[in-house]
Chains A and B, each alone.
Chain A
Amino acid sequence: MDINTKKVKKNAFRISKERGLTASRVRVPGGKCNAKVLGIIKEIAETYGNGNVHLTTRQGFEIEGISLNDMDKVNEMLQPVIEELGINQTNPNTGYPASGTRNVSACIGNRVCPFGNYNTAEFAKRIENAIFPNDLHFKIALTGCANDCIKARMHDFGIIGMTMPQYDPSRCVTCGACVKGCDKLSVKALSKVNDKVVRNEEKCVGCGVCVTKCPTRAFTRSQQKYYRLTIMGRTGKRNPRLGEDFLVWVDEDTIIKVILNTYKFVEKYIDRSAPGGKEHVGYIIDRVGFTEFKKWALDGVELLPETIVNENVYWSGIHYR
């Protein structure tokens, strides 16, 4: 058997521990797919795999036990999945292109969840369209609110939905639901002053609890959707750490620009001699410095006046090396 393992991996197949067998990795951007996709996954698993499908942490399917000889046939069967999921593909019937940038994953967001501040899957799709296919190692995740159920803070880019609470005192009955909700469920940014509610703008994390708790629509969401962009969280051997805030009260377009700019930054500074030519973006910033990263990231970006930029970012985490 003569197989170019690098090509196999770039085509979203795994080199498995069992000789001759691979697994097909099916990315689902934003974790949202319809039941039709499931039917095809089932068919592939039963026709070419061993019948097992692993649900990956990054919201994909890994169809196990496929012979390396059957990759082309599997790719053909994957075509309707790729089309259904709107994956950027270079040539039809050739499966998933590239595997460096990982699936953009997302919590269920405001399609279902009452706390979600935006449609996470839609935004994930937008990012998918902007960055794929791509060999560089990036991890991006989107979460609907500050609860961060997707663990966006463990990603290179974590996108956390925010809303800027709009308060109409003429609709407020001083029931205290927002103040209590903010205290018990969030950051205690609200207080009662003269029988109306005052929001501490510096404390507020834009979670939207006040809006969902308000029984009279005194608190409503801003028409503009906002996000907190956290950067360079990671797992791994050397220095696992949570991402830190880079931009707060930032808009969707800006996030896409910053991510694209970061790809340029990585192209410029990546250590080509790293194993497999792969160097993780977080480690590149560790080497090059945050200030240089920021210069690249914000190049040509026009921020909203309300966006807060952290001028310096310091990460912590555990240092094993």
Chain B
Amino acid sequence: MGNLFKKEEAVLLLNKLSDVYDIYAPMVFKGEGCFSDTDSIRYGKITSFDDIVWDKKSDYSFKEVLLPISDTILYFTEKEMKVPDPSEKKRIIFLRSCDLHALKRLDEIYLTNGAEDFYYKRARENTKLILMGCKKSFDSCFCVSMGTNQADNYDAYIKMDKESVYLEPKDEELKTLLEGTESEEASFEIDYVTDNIEKVTIPETLPEGIQDFPLWEEYAGRCVGCGRCNFVCPTCTCFTMQDVFYQDNQKAGERRRVWSSCQVDGFTDMAGNISFRKDQGARMRFKVLHKVYDYKKRFGYHMCVGCGRCEDVCPEYISYLACIHKLGEIKDGGNADE
């Protein structure tokens, strides 16, 4: 059972929610795409339900809301340091099923894989998650193959059409907030995708020496190492640290943690001028096998959620899906590139 708001009532609802929460959803950033006169669809603070983009996949995932791209985690001066204040408001994030599954991966890494991460935790525990249904699959989605087309770890479900906004709260805090609002009682099934154009079967086991198979070699020549596949991925969690001293006051500075990418130069740099995986083929191998093999070995389920964003963003048209298909062929006895 949920609440059905007419558009004008939904305006009041959003105002009410905005008193308590910063509300993030996929929205259009006009003219901010990679190329001239193209838009970027990514997460931003919405001021109207109409800001939410439903008809396209967001180019970047929700993860930047919980894990800022460049996050100052300490200010320091002389013998003192300070942790930045948490944001004043709680958060609501509107996201699709695949991204809710991705959130489970973020939680795994930042909350339960060793020490709890202070910054992630304080953002995460003040965040409500509202599921956006998917009426149809986008071209590169393969959520059904990855088992991420349906989710249950959400606080509310939202469905919209031109005239109304339907919200079905599961979370008590949201339920309380919706009480006494101008709305009708209603009930809708959750929209979810049951079939994608793209389908993958990830081999359970891979042959010994897969890391040296020739299939990785072509990527050495094709991949330009821009890291877009990592940055758009809702499950990539790697970061690097930067300590900087302010230019006009060398006694003060800040420590930031910033997204990093296993595809970009510098990722494996170590003291002594050592670095591993110097060619892009090795980096592609590392990434792909991490998404569908190494991670699963540790945590029991695949890291990849099948959102297909890496497929959509690669400027060199390198297909992660095609790579997975090649792994499947190897498993079936053939050698993909021979």
Q: Which residues of B contact A211 (CB under 8 A)?
A: 34
CB-contact partner of A173 in B29, B32, B35, B260, under 8 A: B260
Shortest CB-to-CB span from B71 to chain A, Å, is 9
Q: Which residues of B contact A177 (CB under 8 A)?
A: 226, 264
Shortest CB-to-CB span from B67 to chain A, Å, is 12
Contact with A along B245-277 (1 / 0, CB 8 A): 111000000001011110011100000000000
> Does chain A have a CB within 8 A of B40?
yes
**A217 and B32 in contact, given A172-B69, A175-B261 (Cβ under 8 angstroms):** yes
Q: Which residues of A contact B256 (CB under 8 A)?
A: 195
**A119 and B37 in contact, given A213-B226, A221-B32 (Cβ under 8 angstroms):** yes
A175 close to B40 (CB less than 8 A): no
Which residue of A has the minimal Cβ distance to B69? A171
Contact with B along A132-172 (1 / 0, CB 8 A): 00000000000010000000000000000101000001111
CA distance A175 to B31 in the complex (A): 23
Shortest CB-to-CB span from A109 to chain B, Å, is 8
A173 close to B261 (CB less than 8 A): yes
The interface centre, meaning the residue of B34, B226, B260, B266 with most chain A CB atoms within 10 A of its CB, is B34
> Does chain B have a CB within 8 A of A114?
yes
> Does chain B have a CB within 8 A of A176?
yes
**A194 and B244 in contact, given A171-B69, A177-B226 (Cβ under 8 angstroms):** yes
Which residue of B has the minimal Cβ distance to A116? B36
Contact with A along B296-310 (1 / 0, CB 8 A): 000000000000000
> Does chain A have a CB within 8 A of B227?
yes
Within 8 A of B (CB), among A102-137: 110, 114, 116-119
**A170 and B70 in contact, given A114-B35, A175-B261, A175-B264 (Cβ under 8 angstroms):** yes
CA distance A218 to B69 in the complex (A): 10
CA distance A215 to B29 in the complex (A): 15
Contact with A along B15-38 (1 / 0, CB 8 A): 000000000000001111111110
Shortest CB-to-CB span from A268 to chain B, Å, is 38
A193 close to B247 (CB less than 8 A): yes
> Does chain A have a CB within 8 A of B216?
no
> Does chain B have a CB within 8 A of A57?
no
A117 close to B226 (CB less than 8 A): no
> Does chain A have a CB within 8 A of B68?
yes
Shortest CB-to-CB span from A172 to chain B, Å, is 6
> Does chain A have a CB within 8 A of B242?
yes
CB-contact partner of A163 in B36, B247, B264, B266, under 8 A: B36
Q: Which residues of B contact A170 (CB under 8 A)?
A: 68-70
CA distance A135 to B278 in the complex (A): 62
CA distance A144 to B265 in the complex (A): 31
Please give 16 more A-B residue pairs, beta carbons under 8 A apart, in addition to A177-B226, A195-B258, A220-B31. A110-B37, A114-B34, A116-B35, A119-B37, A163-B36, A171-B69, A172-B70, A172-B258, A173-B258, A177-B264, A195-B244, A211-B34, A215-B227, A216-B259, A220-B32, A223-B31
Question: Hey, which bits of chain B sit against chain A, CB under 8 A?
Answer: 29-37, 40, 42, 60, 68-70, 226-228, 231, 242, 244-247, 256, 258-261, 264-266
Question: Hey, which bits of chain A sit against chain B, CB under 8 A?
Answer: 110, 114, 116-119, 144, 161, 163, 169-177, 193-195, 208, 211-218, 220-221, 223
Q: Enumerate the 8 nearest inter-chain pairs by beta-carbon distance, A residue then B residue, closest first.
A: A110-B36, A220-B32, A194-B244, A215-B228, A195-B242, A173-B259, A215-B226, A175-B264
